[in-house]
A and B are shown apart, each in its own frame.
Chain A
Amino acid sequence: DVKVTQSSRYLVKRTGEKVFLECVQDMDHENMFWYRQDPGLGLRLIYFSYDVKMKEKGDIPEGYSVSREKKERFSLILESASTNQTSMYLCASSLTSGRAGEQYFGPGTRLTVT
Protein backbone atom coordinates (compact mmCIF):
# COMPACT_ATOMS: atom_id res chain seq x y z
CA ASP A 1 0.00 0.00 0.00
CA VAL A 2 1.05 3.53 -0.74
CA LYS A 3 1.93 5.42 2.37
CA VAL A 4 1.99 9.19 2.56
CA THR A 5 3.02 10.61 5.89
CA GLN A 6 3.00 14.17 7.16
CA SER A 7 5.28 15.36 9.93
CA SER A 8 2.61 16.68 12.27
CA ARG A 9 -1.12 16.19 12.74
CA TYR A 10 -1.53 19.42 14.67
CA LEU A 11 0.64 22.52 14.70
CA VAL A 12 0.27 25.87 16.43
CA LYS A 13 2.47 28.75 15.31
CA ARG A 14 2.63 32.46 15.92
CA THR A 15 2.15 35.15 13.30
CA GLY A 16 5.41 35.88 11.50
CA GLU A 17 7.03 32.53 12.24
CA LYS A 18 8.56 30.45 9.46
CA VAL A 19 6.72 27.15 9.22
CA PHE A 20 7.79 23.91 7.56
CA LEU A 21 5.33 21.17 6.72
CA GLU A 22 6.94 17.93 5.65
CA CYS A 23 5.50 15.16 3.50
CA VAL A 24 7.06 11.81 2.69
CA GLN A 25 5.80 9.07 0.34
CA ASP A 26 7.22 5.59 0.08
CA MET A 27 6.04 4.41 -3.35
CA ASP A 28 8.48 6.14 -5.67
CA HIS A 29 5.78 8.46 -7.08
CA GLU A 30 6.97 11.16 -9.44
CA ASN A 31 4.31 13.69 -8.51
CA MET A 32 3.58 15.31 -5.19
CA PHE A 33 1.00 17.92 -4.25
CA TRP A 34 0.13 20.31 -1.45
CA TYR A 35 -3.47 21.35 -0.84
CA ARG A 36 -5.23 23.38 1.75
CA GLN A 37 -8.73 22.49 2.84
CA ASP A 38 -11.14 25.06 4.20
CA PRO A 39 -14.84 24.65 5.02
CA GLY A 40 -17.03 25.26 2.00
CA LEU A 41 -14.07 25.59 -0.35
CA GLY A 42 -12.99 21.99 -0.76
CA LEU A 43 -9.36 21.28 -1.57
CA ARG A 44 -7.37 23.97 -3.27
CA LEU A 45 -4.01 23.25 -4.86
CA ILE A 46 -1.11 25.30 -3.54
CA TYR A 47 1.88 23.81 -5.35
CA PHE A 48 2.83 20.58 -7.02
CA SER A 49 6.02 18.91 -8.17
CA TYR A 50 6.44 16.46 -11.05
CA ASP A 51 10.10 15.67 -10.44
CA VAL A 52 12.93 16.33 -8.04
CA LYS A 53 13.69 20.06 -7.86
CA MET A 54 10.78 20.81 -10.20
CA LYS A 55 7.75 22.72 -8.94
CA GLU A 56 4.68 24.39 -10.36
CA LYS A 57 2.26 26.85 -8.83
CA GLY A 58 -1.25 25.71 -8.19
CA ASP A 59 -4.31 27.87 -7.71
CA ILE A 60 -3.29 29.63 -4.49
CA PRO A 61 0.52 29.82 -4.20
CA GLU A 62 0.72 33.26 -2.60
CA GLY A 63 2.43 33.18 0.78
CA TYR A 64 3.84 29.70 0.26
CA SER A 65 6.93 28.09 -1.22
CA VAL A 66 7.97 24.47 -1.65
CA SER A 67 11.07 22.35 -1.80
CA ARG A 68 11.68 18.96 -3.31
CA GLU A 69 15.28 17.90 -2.91
CA LYS A 70 14.54 14.17 -2.86
CA LYS A 71 11.93 12.22 -4.76
CA GLU A 72 10.16 10.97 -1.66
CA ARG A 73 9.97 14.28 0.22
CA PHE A 74 8.01 17.44 -0.52
CA SER A 75 8.08 20.36 1.89
CA LEU A 76 5.67 23.26 2.16
CA ILE A 77 7.10 26.46 3.61
CA LEU A 78 5.24 29.41 5.05
CA GLU A 79 7.88 32.12 5.07
CA SER A 80 5.99 34.35 7.48
CA ALA A 81 2.86 32.71 8.81
CA SER A 82 -0.30 34.75 8.96
CA THR A 83 -3.65 34.05 10.60
CA ASN A 84 -5.34 33.56 7.23
CA GLN A 85 -3.10 30.56 6.70
CA THR A 86 -4.84 28.73 9.52
CA SER A 87 -6.15 25.67 7.71
CA MET A 88 -5.90 21.92 7.13
CA TYR A 89 -2.98 21.08 4.85
CA LEU A 90 -3.05 17.88 2.84
CA CYS A 91 -0.20 16.29 0.94
CA ALA A 92 -0.72 13.82 -1.89
CA SER A 93 1.33 11.83 -4.39
CA SER A 94 0.68 10.12 -7.70
CA LEU A 95 2.32 8.30 -10.55
CA THR A 96 2.78 10.03 -13.87
CA SER A 97 1.73 6.97 -15.83
CA GLY A 98 -1.02 4.55 -15.00
CA ARG A 99 -3.97 4.93 -12.65
CA ALA A 100 -4.98 8.09 -14.49
CA GLY A 101 -3.91 10.59 -11.88
CA GLU A 102 -5.23 8.80 -8.83
CA GLN A 103 -3.74 10.61 -5.86
CA TYR A 104 -2.88 9.13 -2.49
CA PHE A 105 -3.27 11.41 0.48
CA GLY A 106 -1.61 11.84 3.82
CA PRO A 107 -3.58 12.33 7.06
CA GLY A 108 -3.28 16.09 6.97
CA THR A 109 -1.77 18.76 9.22
CA ARG A 110 -4.11 21.10 11.00
CA LEU A 111 -2.22 24.37 11.33
CA THR A 112 -3.33 27.15 13.61
CA VAL A 113 -1.62 30.53 13.36
CA THR A 114 -2.25 32.80 16.34
Chain B
Amino acid sequence: AQKVTQAQTEISVVEKEDVTLDCVYETRDTTYYLFWYKQPPSGELVFLIRRNSFDEQNEISGRYSWNFQKSTSSFNFTITASQVVDSAVYFCALSEAFISSGSARQLTFGSGTQLTVLP
Protein backbone atom coordinates (compact mmCIF):
# COMPACT_ATOMS: atom_id res chain seq x y z
CA ALA B 1 0.00 0.00 0.00
CA GLN B 2 1.14 3.52 -0.70
CA LYS B 3 1.25 6.26 1.88
CA VAL B 4 2.21 9.93 1.85
CA THR B 5 2.95 11.82 5.05
CA GLN B 6 3.04 15.58 5.38
CA ALA B 7 3.84 16.07 9.03
CA GLN B 8 3.55 19.85 8.96
CA THR B 9 -0.12 20.69 9.29
CA GLU B 10 0.33 24.45 9.28
CA ILE B 11 3.28 26.74 8.65
CA SER B 12 3.31 30.49 9.03
CA VAL B 13 6.14 32.68 7.72
CA VAL B 14 6.73 36.34 7.09
CA GLU B 15 7.02 37.51 3.51
CA LYS B 16 10.47 37.06 1.95
CA GLU B 17 11.38 34.19 4.24
CA ASP B 18 12.28 30.83 2.74
CA VAL B 19 10.07 27.90 3.66
CA THR B 20 10.36 24.15 3.14
CA LEU B 21 7.39 21.81 3.04
CA ASP B 22 8.20 18.23 3.92
CA CYS B 23 6.88 15.11 2.21
CA VAL B 24 7.72 11.53 3.11
CA TYR B 25 6.29 8.60 1.20
CA GLU B 26 6.02 4.84 1.38
CA THR B 27 5.66 2.49 -1.56
CA ARG B 28 6.67 -1.01 -2.55
CA ASP B 29 7.00 -0.02 -6.18
CA THR B 30 10.49 0.49 -7.57
CA THR B 31 9.18 2.92 -10.16
CA TYR B 32 6.69 5.60 -9.26
CA TYR B 33 5.81 9.26 -9.68
CA LEU B 34 5.71 12.05 -7.14
CA PHE B 35 3.66 15.23 -7.42
CA TRP B 36 3.09 18.53 -5.70
CA TYR B 37 -0.18 20.41 -5.99
CA LYS B 38 -1.19 23.83 -4.72
CA GLN B 39 -4.71 24.61 -3.51
CA PRO B 40 -5.29 28.36 -3.18
CA PRO B 41 -8.30 29.71 -1.29
CA SER B 42 -10.36 29.46 -4.48
CA GLY B 43 -10.31 25.68 -3.99
CA GLU B 44 -9.01 24.33 -7.30
CA LEU B 45 -5.90 22.18 -7.04
CA VAL B 46 -3.14 23.37 -9.34
CA PHE B 47 -0.43 21.01 -10.55
CA LEU B 48 3.10 22.19 -9.70
CA ILE B 49 5.49 19.37 -10.51
CA ARG B 50 5.80 15.68 -11.35
CA ARG B 51 8.99 13.69 -10.71
CA ASN B 52 9.96 10.20 -11.84
CA SER B 53 11.46 7.94 -9.20
CA PHE B 54 14.48 7.20 -11.38
CA ASP B 55 15.33 10.89 -11.76
CA GLU B 56 16.84 12.20 -8.54
CA GLN B 57 18.04 15.50 -9.88
CA ASN B 58 16.73 18.45 -7.95
CA GLU B 59 14.57 20.84 -9.87
CA ILE B 60 14.20 24.59 -9.71
CA SER B 61 11.45 26.67 -11.22
CA GLY B 62 11.70 30.33 -10.33
CA ARG B 63 11.26 30.64 -6.58
CA TYR B 64 10.24 26.99 -6.28
CA SER B 65 12.64 24.09 -5.85
CA TRP B 66 12.21 20.42 -5.10
CA ASN B 67 14.61 18.06 -3.34
CA PHE B 68 13.98 14.40 -4.12
CA GLN B 69 15.94 11.90 -2.01
CA LYS B 70 15.12 8.31 -2.71
CA SER B 71 17.34 7.09 0.14
CA THR B 72 15.09 8.81 2.68
CA SER B 73 11.84 8.53 0.68
CA SER B 74 11.39 12.26 0.74
CA PHE B 75 10.31 14.84 -1.79
CA ASN B 76 10.54 18.25 -0.14
CA PHE B 77 9.40 21.54 -1.60
CA THR B 78 11.09 24.87 -0.92
CA ILE B 79 9.73 28.31 -1.68
CA THR B 80 12.41 30.97 -1.71
CA ALA B 81 11.55 34.56 -0.80
CA SER B 82 7.93 33.69 -0.05
CA GLN B 83 5.13 36.01 -1.08
CA VAL B 84 1.60 36.51 0.23
CA VAL B 85 0.27 34.89 -2.95
CA ASP B 86 2.01 31.67 -1.93
CA SER B 87 -0.51 31.26 0.88
CA ALA B 88 -2.34 28.02 0.11
CA VAL B 89 -2.64 24.39 1.05
CA TYR B 90 0.07 22.29 -0.57
CA PHE B 91 -0.38 18.60 -1.25
CA CYS B 92 2.23 15.99 -2.00
CA ALA B 93 1.02 12.92 -3.92
CA LEU B 94 2.33 9.58 -5.15
CA SER B 95 1.27 7.31 -8.00
CA GLU B 96 2.38 3.97 -9.37
CA ALA B 97 4.24 4.02 -12.64
CA PHE B 98 2.65 1.02 -14.30
CA ILE B 99 -1.02 0.21 -14.48
CA SER B 100 -2.91 -2.67 -15.95
CA SER B 101 -5.31 -2.17 -18.84
CA GLY B 102 -8.78 -1.27 -17.81
CA SER B 103 -7.64 0.93 -14.97
CA ALA B 104 -6.39 4.41 -14.25
CA ARG B 105 -3.33 5.72 -12.49
CA GLN B 106 -4.46 6.83 -9.06
CA LEU B 107 -2.89 9.42 -6.82
CA THR B 108 -2.36 8.91 -3.11
CA PHE B 109 -2.36 12.29 -1.39
CA GLY B 110 -0.85 13.47 1.83
CA SER B 111 -2.99 15.39 4.30
CA GLY B 112 -1.67 18.73 3.09
CA THR B 113 0.24 21.64 4.62
CA GLN B 114 -1.47 24.97 5.10
CA LEU B 115 1.08 27.69 4.35
CA THR B 116 0.33 31.22 5.47
CA VAL B 117 2.63 34.00 4.34
CA LEU B 118 2.19 37.17 6.36
CA PRO B 119 2.93 40.59 4.89
Contacts and interface: CB of A to CB of B under 8 A. Distances in A.
A110 B42 CA distance: 12
Interface in A1-50: 9, 30-31, 33, 40-45, 48-50
What does DSSP make chain B's interface, helix, strand, loop or mixed? Answer: loop
Interface stretch (B66-74, B75-83, B104-112): B104-112
A45 B4 CA distance: 14
Given A42-B111, A100-B50, A105 B104 contact: no
Interface residues of A, number: 33
Given A40-B9, A42-B91, A104 B47 contact: yes
Interface SS of chain A: helix, strand, loop or mixed? strand
Contacts of A103: 47, 107
A66 B9 CA distance: 32
A61 interface: no
Nearest to B114: A39
A101 B102 contact: no
Nearest to A103: B107
